[in-house]
Structure 1
Amino acid sequence: MPKRSTDEKPALRIHQAIARDLGTAILAGQHKPGEIFEGEIERSEQLRVSRTAYREAVRILTAKGLLESRPKTGTRVTPRGRWNLLDPEVLAWTFAGEPDAGFVRDLFELRGVIEPAAAAFAAQRRTDAQLQELASALEGMRRHGLANPEGRAADQQFHKAILAAAHNEALASLASSVGAAVSWTTTFKQRKLGLPRDPLPEHLAVFEAVRAQDVEQAREAMAELLRLALADMEIASPS
């Protein structure tokens, strides 16, 4: 059986594709909070899909906080404050379009709260196996670079491995969201600006601090990595 290439993704089922398209449209502002969708019959006919597929798509979007369905009032778009913006699929839908610069900055500010602390914990608590996983991720970044999917996957794995090495279940639960944020902000940056610089040295600085079990240096190195990554976006921090 031929091996699937790194760029290939499994085909979405019909209801997943509907959810993706509707979710992308909502996040892009094509459907405003409070807007009522047509009834299930009308909408499924408009999309040329079965009512079952459309119903399943609505369930996905409801679970992610983008829609709500109520008897007699129908299905409507919820206020943005209820959207699960850190859901990996929602992040993918956000970056499929043109994300708001403020939201991109918000993601980096969130990462700036989480990841330096995680790096400090990792310096205290990492195992030899986790250190090897970080080294392997760095090697993948060095070999492939961030201009292709393999290198970006290695970058994502590096940041996930830092969270795992913190040995904190609450932080580890954020790994998928942080990994998605790493992947999509990198893709977005290259789409807008190309690759402005090589970020490998900052990742190496984090790795060396974690390897040396230097808690404060690990924290500072990760904070600097994120500061430079945000600067690459050419998005100013609020004063």
Structure 2
Amino acid sequence: MSTSGGNGVTEKTSAGAAPRIHTSIARDLGVAIVSGQYQPGAVLPGEIEFSAQLKVSRSAYREAVRMLAAKGLVESRTKTGTRVSERSRWNMLDPEVLAWAFVNEPPEPFVRSLFEMRLIVEPAAAALAAVRRTEPQLARMRAALEGMGRHGLGTAEGRRADQEFHSLILLATGNEPLAALSSTITAAVRWTTAFKYRKNAVPRDPLDDHGAVFAAIAAGDAAQARETMTALVSMALEDTSTVLGD
């Protein structure tokens, strides 16, 4: 297994280097786990073997394993080593875990499950936002919408504007638990959109769909906001299904 650089990692002694090293190790192990290279129950390489192979310190490897354990991907036991956890224990709401899932081609059921989650959360959030949003929040939504139109979703800037738009809707609900889902929802938006563009298969421009959601929220029409957001997410799922080859 290789690290992000492809040729192994040489650890540096500067104060800022260690976090990058253990984060890189965690990412590579995380990608290997969520892609199925390491199946649930599999034992990861021991810290001595792994450290010698990649020329990194044992402490960097241990810190990477702690990061994965915090996300539910692995569990470490003194006598049995570090094992990959059952998938049901993985924190699939973690934005990094979502990102790792899209490094390679994700399983279709997993992609669909993300859209199911969005269809449960976002239409209700849009309805709440329509009656609770503030004028400054509307102004920021409008700016994000304009950013999407100016840059296009084929660019990193356009996708950031898209994420900002969806995040602002959750914040505009005035509901703290819903707002706390913002990082997960926007990560799902980001990676499914990037996946479509990576495949060079984007059936249509969804800007008008976003504009319809914004118009309903700006008008204070909760029912219309719910309806337009449902349509937006449903059509995004349809577009993604086309990419997946349905």
TM-score of the superposed pair, with normalisation by structure 1: 0.92
Once structures 1 and 2 are overlaid, which stretch shifts more, 153-162 or 39-48?
39-48
Q: Which amino acid aligns with 1:48?
A: K
2:241 aligned counterpart, secondary structure: coil
In 1, distance between residues paired with 2:23 and 2:241? 34
Q: Which residue of 2 aligns with 1:109?
A: 116
C-alpha deviations, 1:23-61, integer Å up to 9, x for none? Answer: 001111000100112322112112221101100100000
Superposed counterparts of 1:206-225, under 5 Å:
206-225=213-232
In 2, distance between residues paired with 1:235 and 1:32? 29
Q: Which amino acid aligns with 2:188?
A: A
Q: Which residue of 2 aligns with 1:173?
A: 180
In 2, distance between residues paired with 1:147 and 1:126? 29
Q: Which residue of 1 aligns with 2:30?
A: 23
Q: Which residue of 2 aligns with 1:5?
A: none
In 1, distance between residues paired with 2:142 and 2:83? 47
1:60 aligns with 2:52: no
- How many aligned positions are there? 227
Q: Which residue of 2 aligns with 1:159?
A: 166
Q: Judge conservation of contact 1:147–1:195 (CA < 8 Å) in 2.
A: no
In 2, distance between residues paired with 1:95 and 1:217? 32
In 2, distance between residues paired with 1:69 and 1:167? 40
In 1, distance between residues paired with 2:213 and 2:68? 37
Q: Which amino acid aligns with 1:186?
A: T
Which of 163, 175, 198 pairs up with 1:191? 198
Q: Which residue of 2 aligns with 1:97?
A: 104
TM-score of the superposed pair, with normalisation by structure 2: 0.89
Deviation at 1:234, TM superposition (A): 2.0
Q: Which residue of 2 aligns with 1:131?
A: 138
Seen in structure 2, the aligned counterparts of structure 1 residues 198 and 235 have a Cα distance that, compared at 3 Å, is closer
Q: Which residue of 1 aligns with 2:208?
A: 201
In 1, distance between residues paired with 2:48 and 2:56? 10
Unpaired runs of 5+ residues, structure 1, are 1-10
Any runs of at least 4 consecutive aligned residues in structure 1 with deviations exceeding 4 A, and if so which? none
Deviation at 1:235, TM superposition (A): 5.7
Q: Which residue of 1 aligns with 2:236?
A: 229
2:199 aligned counterpart, secondary structure: helix
Once the two structures are aligned, what percentage of the paired residues are identical?
62
1:182 aligns with 2:189: yes
Deviation at 1:118, TM superposition (A): 0.3
Once structures 1 and 2 are overlaid, which stretch shifts more, 35-44 or 22-31?
35-44
